[in-house]
Structure formats: C-alpha cells, structure tokens
Structure 1
Amino acid sequence: MLKQLSFLIIQAGHEIKNIYEKKNSLNIFYKIDQSFVTNADYISEKIIIKGLKRLTPNIPILSEENNLDIQDCISCSKYWLIDPLDGTKDFINNYYEFTVNIALIEKGIPVLGFIYAPMYNTLYYTWEGISWKEKDGIKKKIMVIDQNPPTIAISRFHNDIELNKYISTINNAKIIKLGSALKFCLLAEGKIQLYPRFGRTAIWDIAAGHAIISAAGGFLRSMIPEKKIDYIISSKKSIFNPGFIASVL
C-alpha cells in the first residue's frame, strides 16, 4: 500500500510539473467562489481518484475539485481526503512550492498523510505513526526541532492584520513566506517551528499536513478553543475548520 500510494501521488505530481514547465499547455478557470483552478488540478485529481478507487474500492473519496461527493462521506468512519494541487496561486505565479496532498481520515482524525512537492521531487508521508521524507531515493525519518528564537512560516497570499499582530509578539523570530502545505512539511522536519494561519481553512488544505506533523511530534491547535480541528463530515459540519497554529510545542 505504501509503495502504491507513493507511486500514485508522484505520478499526479509529475503531470502537474509537465504542465508547469510547458506554459502553453496551462489553462486557468474560475470556480463559483472566484478562486482559481487549472487543468493541472483536474488532471491530478483524475489520476488520484482512479488510483484510490482501484486500491480501496470501498473507501469513499472527497476531493477539493469534486466535493459534490461530500454526501458520500457523511457519517463515514473512514474516507480519503485529497487536494490534487495545493497552492494553485503559487503554481500560476511561477512559484515552486505547490504540492499534492492525500490523507486518510478515520473517525475524524487524519491517520495517514502524503504530501508531494513535484518541483523538489520530495515526498513527505506518515506510515505506522512515523513521519518520513523521501528525496532522490533516500528516505529518512523526520522529527520536529524546537529552536529559540523560532523560524515562522506564513502564507505568501494570506497576510492580514491579525497575523502581523501575532508575529509582533514573538521576539527575534525569522519569518519566511511559503505557499501550500509545504509549510507543514518544513515544520515536521525541523526547519521551522511555527506556522500560524488566521481565518478558516478547508479540510483538504490541512489534513495531510496535520497527520505528518503529528507523527513527527508536532501539534495543530485551533485558534478558537470551542471549535476544535476535526475532519468529521456531517450534515451540520462544513468543509471548513477555524484558523490554527501548527507548532513544535
């Protein structure tokens, strides 16, 4: 299963990379909410859904670009949650940090997470409660690393007053701007110590990263204590979670 999932997400990533490198093959569309989506999103999604249906035909699949299937996941104890191209803005604006994300949700908790960064040819994943990084055929176990002052990663396209106020309370912190779920991966391997995100987030944006940092010894906490981060699909639950802080402590 590990090899098959790894092959599947890398295959999807390679198709995205091919479109990225051949700009004349890129097609950009607008979704109902006016956010961007591209043909690369759709091609990646098709590959992943087809592969998951072959591997686990009895487990429902919920994807960002095909979320009408959310009804199939209501009250499910287990389902796949995928973001076929996380960081579409980065992709369109010629940044390298876009990723492909796959998570397996059990009873509202992401128990497996796979994140592939095509332009870095790097795969991050959890397996049997351990987080791993695999690049150029070399696999190594990764763990969070505490450091003071910390390095903080923030989203390139989601800067706001609340975020700036929060960062100003942390003395001497180094700030880096990155796109996509790659921020979770850098936290899991000890390169950053904090990733704050104000405002709501869609469940497919964070599930795989949540699994990876948890297995690496990190934490993902809601900024609204009475609204915890979870991935339970119900008739009352939206596809969004509150803002969060991902950290080593």
Structure 2
Amino acid sequence: MRTIPDTFDQSAVAAIDGRLEDVAAAHCVRIPWAVESGSRAWGFASPDSDYDCRFLFVRPAAAYLALWPARDVIETPLDGLLDVNGWDLAKAVRLATAGNATVGEWLRSPLVYDGDPAFRDALLDLLAAVTDRGRVRRHYLHVGRGQWAHARAGADVVRLKRVFYAVRPALTLRWLDDHAGVPPMNLDELLAETDLPLGVRAEIEELRLLKARSRELGEAPVPPAIAAWVEQVLAPEPDVAPDPGSAVRERANAGFRDLLDRWAPAGR
C-alpha cells in the first residue's frame, strides 16, 4: 500500500523510494513497512520540515542466530531534507514490549511510502498482546520531559519549534487519563479528544498557525499557559513502570518467531 499525498515534494519522495531500495539490496533485508513520521505525520509541519521516513526491516532468519549479529538499526545519511532510518523487527518487538510507543505510531502513520497491511496488522496484534498501559505512560512521560527540557533555551525563553514535541506527549498522557485503547498520534485528534484549559488551547493554535507559515520560528518568550500546563501534566507523573514479566516476554518471543517465519527474506 502507498498513501503519500501529492503535496509532498515528489523529488524527495523519489529519493526516499531510492534509499529504501538501496537499503534492501545492500543489507539483504526485507522492508515490509516504511512510513513518514515526525511533524508531517503528527500534524504540525513547517514549510521547511524535513522528511522523516522510518521503516521496519527483517533479516534472513539465519542472521538472528549469529554470534556477532548485525546492528539492529539501519541509517542513511542526513542531508538536510531527508532523514531515513529504520529498526530491525527484533528491536521493534523488544522495545514495544518494554513500553516504547514509537513502533505503534509508525504502524498507524497515515503516510505510508510502502507497506504490506498484513504485516502491519500482524505486528499490531502482537503489540496489543504485549503492551502495558503503564509502560506506555512512562514512554510518553520520558519523551515529554526530555523535549520540554530541550525546548527551554533559557529561564524565560523557549525554542518554539520544540514546544510541540513536548505538547504532544503531554496531550497523550491526558488522553490516556480519559480514554481506553490506543491514543491517536495526530495533534488534531488529541486536541479534539482532550479537555484543555481555553488559554492553553488558544496558545497551541496560535503557535501552530505560526509554525505552518514560518520557515524558522526561533526563540521567544515562554507561552505562559502552555508552560504552566505542560509542567503541571509532567511533574507529578511517577517515573516507574511494571516489568513485562516472563509470560509477556515469551508471548513476544513467540510472536516474533511467527513474524519471522512469514516475513524473513531468503538468504544467509
């Protein structure tokens, strides 16, 4: 399947397609899922936002028996416009079991460069079986705290571009307070489904409009309502999460082996 809009820079899309083909050939891997992540998929891109392609890859089955296994990440060069890299299926399952929500977001991205829905659905089913809500909360807490610290350029100044990277996980934590199931990754959906103080909502929308038409937001005084709200959401969250336990890890192992049987390419 492919769901890339015509509004994307077609030369960038062609370059991403070429990189994915090169990765598959050079590393002898299969890439059953490749999507756009980052601000474009999250719904707050700038005119100069780069293209963040993320993919999942599977090595030949024998590669997972090697005493000296290959890296579980494949990266391609950053060039200012393209950021293309991916994770091994084993890494994806392992991190998701520990609570990392990134894999689930990649699988639910609406912007797909190339993907097999059967692979996506099978991996989503496995994630549903091994994912714990408490571990997912801890993931978004860590992301939110890290991004908010990164956004703060000084005591009274923030890097406006980075504010969104703290707002989205904070919104996700609030969404998890009020809803069952899997939180949306898109900012519009989070805003629509989360109760927010009017001042916070207004500042987010104002900043979002500015980001949509500006190539470089730079630094500015801290948006006061956003700052107070983000810190209120993130501060009391406990930095703990339950251990997956042996039964969950065995379910993850079994699910990984099933996926490997179906999706590993031929080779050594």
User: Which fold has the larger relative contact order, with Cα–Cα distance below 8 Å and residues 6 or more apart in sequence?
Assistant: 2
TM band (smaller chain)? under 0.3
Decide which structure has greater strand share.
1
TM-score (norm 1): 0.27
The structure number with the bigger radius of gyration is 2
TM-score (norm 2): 0.26
